[in-house]
Amino acid sequence: MNQSLSSLPQGVRLGVSPLSWANDVLEDLGANIPLETCLDDAAAIGYQGIELGRKFPRDAATLRPFLESRGLALASGWHSGELAERDVNAEMAAVAPHASLLRDMGSAVMVYGEVAMMTPGTPLDAPMSKRLVMPDDAVADYVLRLTEFSKRLRGQYGLRLAYHHHLMMVVETFDEVSALFDQAGSEVGLLLDTGHAVGAGFDYALLIERFGDRVAHIHLKDVRSRVMEPVRVGDLSFNEGVRRGMFTVPGDGDVDFGPVADFARSGGYQGWLIVEAEQDPDAAPPRPAVARAFNHILDQLR
């Protein structure tokens, strides 16, 4: 083990998202940065793994040597799910190529983001107030489909579903997370995202207190409150907030990572800690940013 990783608790690994190098939605951000640069940087800093990004090959035979030659594991990857509007059989068919890749690469978790019931058109370019909200009477059936999908995903691919509460999607607020997880079967895991919690107006530590036993994956994202506040007050879009720099790497914003470090140290969590920041790599050069975050998180864990 890299000596600098010695403070990681047993069963906890530290990875990084490729979003610091290339944005998955705003494709002009990082368009000129090769995948090899992203992987070389991550490995040189000492990260143990990386999540899937838009520039990654989507077959294991091609992707495996890219990662193995640098000592990196594939931690997970995002699936844009639509169970809010379609049935489990359709979702299983849609997820098959992605889930097969994650399984073949040795991943244990799949990130699920609900992209149905979003604002029509370009939802992440809509004002934040225009987010669609799932009707209360639709939640129970949605949870049933999500639970069945999670069971089948685990049975067929050996992957645990990690549900991503996310700004502009149907599960954004703490009340919405609670409504889902109070009803969902134990097969449905939670992705705890520090930045999306703060952006939605709640303390991410509440998720640890209420649903710590359901946390399957963790994204460590920081927030610049001085940027987030005018985005909210001005009712700007999620994408405009990203361009303005409302998100950053841990240690560069206003989020306290102490509670998540305590959670990892307690033994209550086994899995990946993923440093993530959706920001412009021209404004925030990726390698030094994620290197600072690497050191900040390890300092929190000591």
Q: Which of 55, 37, 76 is nearest to 287 (CA)?
A: 37
Rounded CA-CA distance 191/169 in Å is 14
Give percent of the chain above pLDDT 90: 98
pTM, entire model: 0.97
**155-159: average pLDDT:** 98
Give per-residue pLDDT as tens, 160-206: 999 999 999 999 999 999 999 999 999 999 999 999 999 999 999 99
Going along the chain from its start, the domains and CATH numbers come out as 3-301 (3.20.20.150)
Q: Which of 165, 178, 189 is nearest to 109 (CA)?
A: 189
Tokens (6 digits) for 294: 């690497």
Does the structure show a pLDDT above 70 at 3? no
Does the structure show a pLDDT above 60 at 141? yes
Report strand pairing: 78-81 vs 73-74: unpaired
Give per-residue pLDDT as tens, 77-88: 999 999 999 999
pLDDT band at 2 (very low <50, low <70, confident <90, very high): low
**103-119: average pLDDT:** 98
Tokens (6 digits) for 49: 């793994």
**51-70: average pLDDT:** 98
Task: Classify residue 69 by burial, with Cβ atoms within 10 Å: 0-12, 13-18, 19+.
Answer: exposed
Does the structure show a pLDDT above 80 at 1? no
The answer to whether 221 and 192 have CB atoms below 8 angstroms apart is: no
pLDDT band at 268 (very low <50, low <70, confident <90, very high): confident
Rounded CA-CA distance 280/171 in Å is 26
Rounded CA-CA distance 182/126 in Å is 30
Longest Cα separation, the chain: 52
pLDDT at 4: 82
What backbone torsions phi and psi does residue 113 show, to the nearest 5 degrees?
-115, 130
DSSP string, the chain: --GGGTTSPTTEEEEE-GGGTS-SSSTTTTTTS-HHHHHHHHHHHT-SEE---TTS-SSHHHHHHHHHTTT-EE---EEEE-TTTS-HHHHHHHHHHHHHHHHHTT--EEEEEE-TTPPSSSGGGSBGGG-----HHHHHHHHHHHHHHHHHHHHHH--EEEEE--TTSSS-SHHHHHHHHTTS-TTEEEEEEHHHHHHTTS-THHHHHHHGGGEEEEEE-EE-HHHHHHHHHTT-BHHHHHHHT-EE-TTSSS---HHHHHHHHTTS--EEEEE-----TTTS-HHHHHHHHHHHHHHHH-
**223-233: average pLDDT:** 97
**245-254: average pLDDT:** 97
Packed helices 35-45 and 286-301: angle between N→C axes, nearest 10 degrees: 30
**32-40: average pLDDT:** 98
Average pLDDT of the chain is 97
Residue type, 61: A
